[in-house]
Chain A
Amino acid sequence: MTQTAADSPARRQRAQIKERTLRTDQWWRYPLVTFIIFTAFLVYATWAIFDMDYFVSPYHAPFASPCLATSCPEEARLFGLAPFGDWYTWPPGILILGLPAGFRFTCYYYRKAYYRGFWLSPPACAVGEPHRKYTGESRFPLILQNVHRYFFYAAIVIGLILAYDAVLALVHKPGGLGTWILIANAILINLYTLSCHSCRHITAGRLTHFSRHPVRYKAWTVVSKLNAKHQELALVSMFSVMGADLYVRLVAKGIISFPFA
């Protein structure tokens, strides 16, 4: 069987093989699992944004932290402050979730995952993509992925706020299961944030003479070690933030009500 199919003379010089891929392994599992997990996360996040049971003293659901308006319970406000005052009455998640969401959306790991799982560009290595044209991140809108480092700066702040929430829970309810869930989540979120490629670049990756900047070089080596686990941290912290958020909401709704909850 002679196989011929081509779109250009140059392309015709390549081996004309009709099959999109000759891979025999389960290459479709990664994009499929990615699609399912990320879709589940998006569905949960959408629900959580509009759910108003985000605080039960001393627990603050991560998807609604920080609270910055007077419509939030007084204990839930960051440092007791409400810079957005009375006019903002929507759920607090709408106000701030864009920052961590933007951080994850532009994250180098997530880009790989959703380009494969959602955009099929490509679905897997050596598997033909369905698109006729490709310009990648060289043009609008994907050139905006270069804003990642600014989301990283915001994620540092959000990570510190989640750590502060966990410390407050520890102070007021050290034996609570929710406290330890929030602490674990804060640690994972901050590790994920610090393992970011932009963080690696900012510490010292942009330099060409490490030897002239020993402190920055040391920071770079630490971040580089974390960076090697960036994918794992991205996924684990995604599950931890979803789990911690759900747990607090279930306690707030009274669905979880055992004594050390």
Chain B
Amino acid sequence: MSYKAKFRVWRGEGGEGRLEDFTVEVNEGEVVLDIIHRLQATQAPDLAVRWNCKAGKCGSCSMEINGKPRLGCMTRMSTFTEDETITVTPMRTFPVIKDLVTDVSFNYTKAREIPSFTPPADVKPGEYRMQQIDVERSQEFRKCIECFMCNNVCHVIRDHEENKPGFAGPRFLMRIAELDMHPYDVVDRKDSAQEEHGLGYCNITKCCTEVCPEHIKITDNALIPMKERVVDRKYDPLVWLGNKIFKRSGPKS
């Protein structure tokens, strides 16, 4: 069953722009990205949108739909009423290239700032032996499709551009947690998580978890455990004393 839907789509370049109104056909079973494509095909051939898999796995079509960060390809039109005006804007935290396409290079910069997985020097590739229970906690974080909606929604940088240099965002704080929990990673990441990557900025309001299309429990399973690890290292005198008494010198046990 088809109907005509009212859409408002943000159009512009380099930040300057406006919301443009469209009336467009919607068919049963379609998602918001289908409608954006129909707009391209019928009314706005120069409308820019980044997309790839249309299956919620590539993380390309992140946008804000009625103010909420969503994947265009995973937002069903059936979740809206027929008389509802649907507003589609680019992610607000990143610079706009054109229309719905943002420059997400902030995230690539942050990714490069995190030291990669570092196994012990005496363990060669092929010699890793890990039990499933030792790695399964980190495996949840590997579901990340890098849509960057968690970083987009995080108010630390969304509302405060000035925090960008010192804050990696939930996506990459989760990466730090993943590596810190890894049984074969030897880099001590607790001090840098707090001092260089801005874990202390996180006030655990869980918006990253709310918007994650892969339903990763970013806050509960990555950020808070990482905060607790930082407390072990920097703020808990009992742990410090225990390490001294029992001569626990290694960063990981």
Contact = CB atoms under 8 A, between A and B. Distances in A.
B161 A11 contact: yes
A257 interface: no
A24 B180 CA distance: 39
B159 A128 contact: yes
B155 A8 contact: no
B201 interface: yes
A89 interface: no
> Would you call the interface of chain B mostly helix, strand, loop, or mixed?
mixed
A9 to B, nearest CB: 10
What is the size category of the interface that chain A forms with chain B? Answer: 35 or more
Contact of B94 (A14, A23, A137): A14
B96 A134 contact: no
B75 to A, nearest CB: 13
Given A10-B161, A116-B205, A125 B229 contact: no
B225 A205 contact: yes
A149 B164 CA distance: 30
Interface in B1-56: 10, 12, 14-19
Interface stretch (A40-48, A56-64, A167-175, A207-215): A207-215
Interface of B: 10, 12, 14-19, 64, 66-69, 84, 87, 89-90, 92-96, 103, 131, 133-134, 137, 153, 155-156, 158-164, 180-183, 194, 198, 200-207, 210-211, 220, 224-225, 227-232, 234-236, 252-253
Given A112-B203, A137-B203, A217-B133, 16 more contacts: A2-B18, A13-B96, A14-B15, A14-B93, A14-B161, A15-B17, A17-B10, A22-B66, A125-B211, A129-B155, A129-B159, A136-B203, A138-B200, A147-B235, A210-B131, A210-B134
Interface of A: 1-4, 6-8, 10-17, 21-25, 108, 111-112, 115-116, 121-122, 125-129, 131, 133-139, 142-143, 146-149, 197-198, 200-201, 205-212, 217, 227-228
26 contacts: A12-B15, A13-B95, A13-B103, A15-B17, A22-B89, A23-B67, A24-B67, A25-B68, A122-B155, A125-B68, A128-B158, A133-B160, A136-B200, A136-B201, A146-B236, A149-B228, A197-B220, A197-B224, A201-B228, A201-B229, A206-B253, A207-B253, A208-B180, A211-B134, A217-B133, A228-B220
